[in-house]
Structures are given as structure tokens and as C-alpha cells.
Amino acid sequence: MAPSGKSAAADFDLYRPSEEHDMLRDSVRALSEAKIAPFAAEVDEEGRFPQEARDALEANDLHAVHVPEAYGGAGADALATVIVIEEVARVCASSSLIPAVNKLGSLPVVLSGSEELKKKYLGPLAAGDGMFSYCLSEPDAGSDAGGMKTKAVRDGDHYVLNGVKRWITNAGVSDYYTVMAVTDPDKRTKGISAFVVEKDDEGVSFGAPEKKLGIKGSPTREVYLDNVRIPADRMLGDEGTGFATAMQTLDHTRITIAAQALGIAQGALDYAKGYVAERKQFGKPIGDFQGVQFMLADMAMKLEAARQLTYAAAAKSERVDSDLTFFGAAAKCYASDAAMEITTDAVQLLGGYGYTRDYPVERMMRDAKITQIYEGTNQVQRIVMARNLP
């Protein structure tokens, strides 16, 4: 079982993993290398969902470790969740979106759902009987999420939803969707409410998978809501509180994107280190040349700085500190920028080989790019940080 927040509280004060966290890392790394890594290139090449990863993660209760014990979950703390995502992303970024997006999609239920909704949806998630996705963005509402047009109209004991959600990770595979919709157009963000929509609800359908640069194994689709009629008790919190729930969710889950970035960067650095130790030019390993050593040093330095910031943010997420918004944005922004730099340098260190699909670093570079974009672009993260300076 992943460590709980209570058992690791003292270590959180120092932003340092406990012995339990270290054991968790070792077990997830071993599982990832044995059950997920062998399929990573194939998943990317074929653009298919990494079912092998889902099976392995669910078999070991690592697919949604954040779910509280009261609902059948591991009750893992925020740092344990980060470690799981980081270690999976080290071998396959697409697969790491299984635990990451399960948290993103279900955290609004944890934060704002009624006890009945928590029992109804968190239990099956913890048991591996269904995945969760998060529906906020729309064709004309990306960074300006408050400009969404999807509507939810009250009709007796039900709400009827109509609209389109875009860029929805794991859409079509997930069974449950947290959907933000406008219930009062005159109140802008304070007129947005949150609902749980099920894949099998009448009127729910999906667009074709997007053809993406990276994370090709994680399907990204539009979600169409055509007169989707759902019980009113599937609303999360009170009417008009959905946008606040969405933003509160992102404060916590941007850290999971930082974790994904860490994992991608670590995988690229590990591979590059091994390569330069074996590749010989001018009669000696290229890793003996100072220019190469300096590149590796910079890569490792940036990665460790990103890791410390991400773990600090995870500690603040667990405690729900007042400066969480700043730290969540900072961790996501810094770690993803670092991952893009580190993976690009890894490609450079492999030379021509790094540019081919016979080696994994070009995939890692492509995968790293999305971490600078989703859950708020890094330009938006800087706006968030500037508005919430500690």
C-alpha cells in the first residue's frame, strides 16, 4: 500500500520522501520496467492505448492511489502519487496519464462531491472498474475556461447537458467524466457548475482521436454532449461552484504534470548517461569529453531542482497550504520547461541516433512538449504565479 499522508507528515515538513516512499519508488520502478517499458515504443508507434500498463497498474493498486481508504483506495498522500506518476513516466509518458488523469478527473468528486457520489464513483475507480477523465476545455475556451459554452439546464429532478468538450485525455476509454457546464450564463465563472457524466449516458459520444506529436498512447478526443439527461444529484457541490472546484482541482493536479515531466526527463537522462559511457569517438568514450560532461551536469542539476520544487509542492498539496496555488503552478512550469531542455539535450548527446525512432529519447522529447501545454500553458502558469506571489 502506498504511504498515507499521516504516516509521512514529518517528512513532508522537510519535503523529503520517507522510507515508505522510497520502497514505493523501488516497487513502481521494477513494475514499470518489467510490465510497461517493453510496450512503450510500440504504443507510441501504433498510437494505441497502453492496455498492458493499465492491467499492470490496476493489478498492483497503482492506477488511482489517491482514492481515500474510506472508499476502497490506498489513501496515498500527494507525494506517493507523484512518485507513482514519475516512475511510470520514466519509461512511458502515455501510461503515466492513467494514474495522473484518474486523479484529475476524480479529485472534484473528492473535493466537492456528496457522500453518496463519493461512494458511487470512487469505489469503482479504486477497484479498477472504471477510469475518470476531466472535461473543462472547449473549442473556444482553452486558457479562458470561464468562456465555456456547454450548458446544463435544470429540468425537474434532472439536468440536461449540451455542448462540446475538447482535448479530453483518455476520452472514450474512461467510464466517468467530470464535466463543467454553465448553469447561469449571466454570472460567468460563478454560473458554472460541475457534474459527473457517465460514458453510457444517452447522448454522450466521442470524436476521432487527435493526431498528436507525443503521448500518442493516451487518446485525446472531443466529448459530445447531446441532450444528455442526468439526475440532479450528480452535481458536485452547489450550483455555481463548479469553476471554483475546477481551479482548486488544478492547484493539486498541476503537481502531477510536474511529476510526469520529472519522469520523462529522468528517463532521458538515464539513457543518455548510458549511451555516452559506451559510444566511442577519437579513441575514448564521448562521456570523457568535458563538453559532454558539462551537458550532463546541467541536465542533472535542472532535474534535481525541478524534483525538489515538485516534492515541496506535493507537501503543500497534502497540507493544503495557503501558498499551494503558487507552488503548484511553479512546479508544473519549472519541471516541464526543464524536461523539454533535458530531453532535447539527450537527443543531442545521441547525435544522429537520437533523431531516430530506434532510440527512445526522440519519443521522450516529443512527450515532454505537452507538459508545457496542458493543465494550463506555462505562460498561464506565470500569470498564476504573478497573481499569487508568496
- In angstroms, the Cα distances linking 27 to 60, 76, 251, 311 are 10, 15, 28, 19
One digit per residue, the tens of pLDDT, for the chain of length 390 reads: 455 544 344 344 445 789 999 999 999 999 999 999 999 999 999 999 999 999 999 999 999 999 999 999 999 999 999 999 999 999 999 999 999 999 999 999 999 999 999 999 999 999 999 999 999 999 999 999 999 999 999 999 999 999 999 999 999 999 999 999 999 999 999 999 999 999 999 999 999 999 999 999 999 999 999 999 999 999 999 999 999 999 999 999 999 999 999 999 999 999 999 999 999 999 999 999 999 999 999 999 999 999 999 999 999 999 999 999 999 999 999 999 999 999 999 999 999 999 999 999 999 999 999 999 999 999 999 999 999 998
Residue 385 CA: distances (Å) to CA of 152, 200, 324, 379, 382: 32, 39, 10, 10, 5
Q: Which fold has domain 132-240?
A: Butyryl-CoA Dehydrogenase, subunit A; domain 2 (2.40.110)
**CA pair distance 47, 104, nearest whole angstrom:** 22
In 3D space, the residue among 194, 213, 208 whose CA is nearest the CA of residue 145 turns out to be 194
Q: Where are the domains of the chain?
A: 9-127, 132-240, 243-387
pLDDT at 390: 87
Give the global pTM: 0.95
pLDDT at 16: 73
Question: pLDDT value at position 270?
Answer: 98
* Residues that are catalytic: 375
Judging by DSSP bridges, how do beta strands 192-198 and 151-155 pair with one another?
Answer: unpaired
Pick the CATH number of 9-127 from 1.10.540.10, 3.40.50.150, 1.10.10.10, 2.40.50.140: 1.10.540.10
> Which top CATH class is 243-387?
mainly alpha
**Cβ 234 vs Cβ 196: under 8 Å:** yes
Answer whether 202's CB lies under 8 Å from 29's CB. Answer: no
Instruction: Report CA-CA distances (Å) from 60 to 35, 63, 169, 277, 360.
Output: 11, 8, 23, 35, 26
What is d(CA 387, CA 381) in angstroms, rounded to the nearest whole number? 10
The predicted pLDDT at position 107 comes to 98
Q: What is the DSSP letter of 61?
A: T
